[in-house]
Structure 1
Amino acid sequence: MTNILIVDDDIHILNLVRIHLSEQGYQVFQAKDGMEALEILHKQSCHLAVVDVMMPFMDGFTLTKEIRTRYHIPVILLTAKNQIEDKEQGFDAGTDDYLVKPFEPKELSFRIRALLRRYDKQPENTVLRIGNTMINKKSYEVTIEDKTILLPLKEFELLYFLMANPIQVFTRDHLIEQIWGFDYEGDERTVDVHIKRLRERLLTYTNDFQIKTVRGVGYSLEAKRE
């Protein structure tokens, strides 16, 4: 399921968008300000964010910059103003699209679908690196300094997915969908077993990152801080 984050301090806008997008089959997460939005993104993988410009604590421009720095997801900015200066500031912040209030929910849906298609078509990096650890999806090799490690397929795919999405927290169900597929008939303990094996295999080779357990939620990969 595609997860959409809606950030707006207007509860009426939140409810309107949530109802409409839920009817379209999206899973909707809501935040009333930028700080709450970042907390959600830290715990939950989202595929797109719809962000209001005028909000308390952290405005939409600042939030967009934070999202662009930390996550590879499209952003649509909402604003009640229709001034070219606001649009320029929004695009400078890194937004992918811009929608002026009041808007038709259908138009928002069109723009969401277009952005999701565009991001899906972007080429996937085949080589990822964190510190001295490099993972190559073409050769299915993990290279740590001058050592090459061959992992079992699912462990490799799990490590690649986590390295491609550092800091984000993923539930066991989400990881099962990504690595094993929607039709997998096993249980979530499979994820725990594979995470445990990954940690054991990599422990003696690298401390470039940690696969952390987030109690009550799932797992997150975090790079070592310099």
Structure 2
Amino acid sequence: MSGKTILIVEDELKIAQVLRDYLEKAGYATNCLSRGDTVPAHVQKNPPGLILLDLMLPGMDGTEVCREIRKFSNVPIIIITARVEELDRIIGLELGADDYICKPFSPREVVARVKAVLRRASPDVPGKALVLGPIRLDEDLHQVLIYDNTITLTPSEHELLKIMISQPGRVFSRSELIGQIQGYDFEGYERTIDSHIKNLRKKMAEFFPNQDIIRAVYGIGYKLVVQHDPVEKTSQRV
């Protein structure tokens, strides 16, 4: 896990330096940027292993930075925010962030979150292919195919699909899903899982017309149900 480069996007220099010190002590290389409008071009030119992204930035707001990055990259993103409204956190997750941390925070917690998200992005143990109808999830390649068409998922979306495809039809509670995805005790809002579900549904929808393949079970959570009669697609997509 060590050796990966972490991009720290934070305009408060003292906070950026503390994060840098703790991450480098944990074995990570780091780069720091203080303006949001410099981030998308930097990520395209120097793809990091993970981004720690503050929301309150000069030049471009962190939510817009996240939106721009997701147009061309699925690099793991952890949002760091001083905003107390849960809506702000939900918006960040719906834009494709993998996790969020609220200020003030413990630097050790940030390092733990970074390790957990990177584990989801690049599992250390060999995986296998999980197949359900037209869906094939390859853990080793971190790839999902539907009717031989590649769909691009964030680490959290990939992990969510892997959990549900391993036991199709089973109802998973929100707390169960968030616990398995985060890989540690998550003291946040359980319904953040709804944001990941929404994004995953959107990416899979075109392959399953008129089907609700990830179904909400009122008061409990979600289950994956795949029928075998959608319109087949053959063109490769990225």
Query: TM-score, normalized by length of structure 1?
Result: 0.53
How far does the alpha carbon of each residue in 1:166-208 deviate from its partner, in whole angstroms, 9 at most, with x for none? xxxxxxxxxxxxxxxxxxxxxxxxxxxxxxxxxxxxxxxxxxx
The correspondence for 1:120, drawn from 119, 122, 126, is 122
Residues 92-138 of structure 1 show CA distances to partners (whole Å, capped at 9, x for unaligned) of 1111101000100000011100100101145526799xxxxxxxxxx
- The unaligned stretches of length 5 or more in structure 1 are 129-226
Residue segments in structure 2 that go unaligned for 5+ positions in a row: 124-138, 146-238
SS of 1:70's equivalent in the other structure is: coil
1:91 pairs, out of 88, 93, 100, with 93
The correspondence of residues 133-172 of structure 1 with structure 2, limited to 5 A, is none
Q: Which amino acid aligns with 1:32?
A: S
Counterpart AA for 1:62? E
Of 111-120 and 34-43, deviating more is 34-43
The verdict on how the C-alpha distance between 1:125 and 1:18 changes in structure 2, with shifts beyond 3 A counting, is: closer
Q: Tell me the alpha carbon deviations over residues 23-66 of structure 1, each in whole angstroms, 9 at most, x when there is no partner.
A: 11111010001222223212212110000001111111111112
Q: Counterparts of 1:124 and 1:42 in 2: how far apart (Å)?
A: 22
**Is the deviation greater in 70-79 or in 37-46?**
37-46
Counterpart in 1 of 2:67? 65
Counting only pairs closer than 5 Å after superposition, residues 73-112 of structure 1 correspond to structure 2 as 73-112=75-114
Equivalence for 1:150 = none
Q: Whose Rg is larger?
A: 1
Name the CA distance, whole Å, in 2 between partners of 1:127 and 1:91: 21
SS in 1 for 2:79: strand
Letter in 2 for 1:9: D
Equivalent residue, structure 2, for 1:197 = none
Equivalent position amino acid for 1:54 in 2? M
**Pair 1:6-2:23 in alignment:** no
Provide closer, same or farther for how the CA distance between residues 43 and 81 of structure 1 changes in structure 2, counting only shifts above 3 A: same
- The answer for the alignment partner of 1:33 in structure 2 is 35
Q: In the TM superposition, what are the counterparts of 1:208-219 in structure 2 within 5 Å?
A: none
Shift of 1:75: 0.4
CA apart distance, 1:73: 1.1
| 1:17 aligned residue | 19
CA-atom RMSD in angstroms: 1.9
Distance 2:48 2:27 in 1: 14
Following TM superposition, the consecutive aligned residue runs of length 4 or more in structure 1 with deviations greater than 3 angstroms are: 125-128
Matched residue type, 1:124:
L
Paired position in structure 2 for 1:175: none
**1:69 is paired with a residue of what secondary structure?**
coil
Choose 114-123 or 96-105, whichever is displaced more.
Answer: 114-123
Residue equivalent to 1:207: none
| 2:47 aligned partner | 45
Following the alignment from structure 2 to structure 1, what is the Cα–Cα distance between the partners of residues 92 and 76?
13
Instruction: State the identity %.
Output: 34
- How many residue pairs match? The answer is 128
